[in-house]
Amino acid sequence: MAEATHRALLASLATASVGRVLTDTGDTDPFLWDWRRQWHGAAIAVVQPGTTAEVAAAVRWCADHRVAVVAQGGNTGLSGGATPSADGTSIVLSLKRLNRIRHIDPVNNTITVEAGCVLSAVQDAARGEGRYFPLSLAAEGSCTIGGNLATNAGGTAALRYGSARALCLGVEVVTADGSVWDGLKPLRKDNSGYDLRDVFIGSEGTLGVITAATLALHPLPGDQAVALIPVDSLDEAVSVFHVLQGRLDQQLTACEVMSGDCIKLVAGRFPSVHVPFAPVPAWVVLAEVSTSSSQAEACVLDALSLIPGADNTVVATASQDRSAMWAIRELISEAQASVGPAIKHDVALPISALGAFASQAEAAVALDFPEVRQMVFGHLGDGNLHYNCSPQPQCDPQRFLAMTNGLNALVHDLVRAYSGSISAEHGLGVLRRDEADLHRSPVERRLMHSIKSALDPQGIMNPGKVLPLQA
């Protein structure tokens, strides 16, 4: 962009009542990198509105000047969706100052919050009223509700409570022309036309900016127990899940899986983490049981009695011990990030196909990419694996990254062969945009582009994310 145009845009933005405007490189740089530092962009400015009216003014200004808007919450996304393009023609719209809890209705079991509220703050606000907001992920101390809804985040409680979409009753959105749509209905039933709320959820900032949401709350669990169950294979992990779910039904509130290599990595990087197994087993299932009264331990022990060979299972009931077990699972992403580059796959499969998929993928990756260390974990009960790869210690990082396309093709071809999805919960962003588009039917592609052009006719909302730019 020409220097004079850039200066003129900034002068105009300064008079547009959009909230704070950051332009100094030192201030803007953190907003231009993604969490993994895999993408780096440029922007005319970072705008930090503090009210919905300021968000509307900012988007209206962008529409008037044909400037692209990249909405950003906690910037913990893993698909590059919140990073502006490198050409410097966008503004980053950081929603973090839009962080008020607007209303809690404990009788209706709802909470209305602004988009920039950090997820853990929403959980705390609900707990303060004796209610439970179950969405939970390892990034919950930094990610925002707006980002959670924009990516339809899953996390560890999706097995029992569903993904972010299932927990959202209504949204307030600033549309691509700067209008405000107040869709904050605190209703569990509402069949009054096309479901606009569901159009914006999962759209990764490409259709509008979510400024607030009304979320469904649940009763606080009365009692909880966590079990770590060692198993020899993912197939065996699936059998364990099947038995636990059959016995516990909705009392099984989480069922995760992690490979022994992931556990060893976490133990090596975070010495304070206690791993209650020596030697570390090939795989471990983490099962969480929640009950309304104090029976969680009895329930989990009863269910475990149906699993042959579950003698080495470790069960915790005290809050501190349960948190220590969860820490092993939740620190995997950070541990992997600390040992160099990673090639990640966020895949969903029918639960019945997980075992066969994993054993075929493991053998094929080991054969074709011997310098790769496979780091597999995920949300077993949702059929969602993070089939991640790191370099073996002797492998040069650049040589490793050159394997990206080959590894993606190997893993994703196998996912498709089992009727799976290459984007389970992290969204498409730029990371999976082109590959997802390649495998869309012409009908699906036409419908997707029709929605985009109807809601964002100028193409200014997070362009180049989710859908490839059209010529």
Ligand X SMILES: Cc1cc2nc3c(=O)[nH]c(=O)nc-3n(C[C@H](O)[C@H](O)[C@H](O)COP(=O)(O)OP(=O)(O)OC[C@H]3O[C@@H](n4cnc5c(N)ncnc54)[C@H](O)[C@@H]3O)c2cc1C
Q: Are strands 110-114 and 314-316 parallel, antiparallel or unpaired?
A: unpaired
Q: Percent helix, strand, coil in the chain (nearest 5)?
A: 40, 25, 40
Least distance CB 466 / ligand X (angstroms): 8
| CA distance linking residue 107 with residue 320, whole number of Å | 30
Binding track, positions 203-242, relative to ligand X; x by CB under 6 A: -xx---xx--------------------------------
Residues in the chain: 471
418: left (phi over 0), alpha (psi -120 to 50) or beta: alpha
CB of 180 to ligand X, least distance (A): 13
Binding of ligand X at residue 153 (CB under 6 A)?
yes
Nearest distance, CB of residue 163 and ligand X, angstroms: 7
| Phi, psi of 183, rounded to the nearest 5 degrees | -110, 35
- The piece of 202-210, 269-277, 319-327, 447-455 that touches ligand X (CB under 6 A) is 202-210
Q: Coil, strand, or helix at residue 216? A: strand
Give which of 53, 86, 64 is closest to 13, Cα–Cα.
64
Select the residue interacting with ligand X from 54, 60, 67, 76 (CB under 6 A): 76
Residue 33 sits at the vertex; the CA angle it makes with 465 and 413, to the nearest 5 degrees, is 50
User: Tokens in use for 304?
Assistant: 């475990």
Decide: is 460 part of the binding site for ligand X (CB under 6 A): no
Contact flag: residue 78 with ligand X (CB under 6 A): yes
The single residue among 19, 41, 50, 73 that binds ligand X, judged by CB under 6 A, is 73
Stretch that binds ligand X, among 20-28, 135-143, 239-247, 448-456 (CB under 6 A): 135-143
- Residues 406-425 touching ligand X, rule: CB under 6 A, are 425
Angle at 399 between CA 393 and CA 401, to 5 degrees: 95
Q: Interface with ligand X by CB under 6 A: which range of 75-83, 351-359, 390-398, 438-446?
A: 75-83
Which member of 47, 104, 150, 403 binds ligand X (CB under 6 A)? 150
Binder to ligand X among 41, 49, 84, 154 (CB under 6 A)?
Answer: 154
Interhelix angle 234-248/296-304, rounded to 10 degrees, is: 130
Alpha-carbon span 339 to 341, nearest angstrom: 7
CB count within 10 Å of CB 295 equals: 15
Residue whose Cβ sits closest to ligand X: 147
Supply the minimum distance, in Å, between the C-beta of residue 209 and ligand X: 4
Report the residue from 21, 45, 139, 228 that binds ligand X according to the rule CB under 6 A: 139
Do β-strands 208-216 and 110-114 pair in parallel, antiparallel, or remain unpaired? Answer: antiparallel
Helix (H) or strand (E) holding 247: helix 234-248
Residue 374 interacts with ligand X (CB under 6 A)? no
| Residue placing its CB nearer to ligand X in the complex, 95 or 266 | 95
Q: Which is nearer to ligand X, 291 or 388 (CB)?
A: 388
Size of the site for ligand X (CB under 6 A): 38
Burial class (CB in 10 A: 0-12, 13-18, 19+), 275: middle
The binder of ligand X chosen from 426, 432, 433, 452 (CB under 6 A)? 426
Q: Given candidates 32, 59, 62, 138, which one binds ligand X under the rule CB under 6 A?
A: 138
- Contact call for residues 135 and 161 (beta carbons, < 8 A): yes
85 sits near ligand X (criterion: CB under 6 A)? no
- Provide the 3-class DSSP secondary structure of residue 179: coil
Neighbours of 180 (CB within 10 A): 18
Interface with ligand X in residues 298-357 (CB under 6 A):
333-334
| Residues numbered 13-72 forming contacts with ligand X, rule: CB under 6 A | 35, 70-72
CB of 155 to ligand X, least distance (A): 4
Instruction: Return the residue of 48, 52, 75, 290 that touches ligand X, per CB under 6 A.
Output: 75
Residue 100 in tokens: 């008020």
Q: How far is the CB of 285 from ligand X (least distance, A)?
A: 17
Instruction: Name the β-bridge partners of 91.
Output: 45, 69
Is residue 134 within the footprint of ligand X (CB under 6 A)?
Answer: no
The C-alpha atoms of residue 8 and residue 262 are separated, in whole angstroms, by 51
Residues that bind ligand X (CB under 6 A): 35, 70-78, 81-82, 95, 115, 137-139, 143-144, 146-148, 150-151, 153-155, 204-205, 209-210, 333-334, 425-426, 429, 462, 465
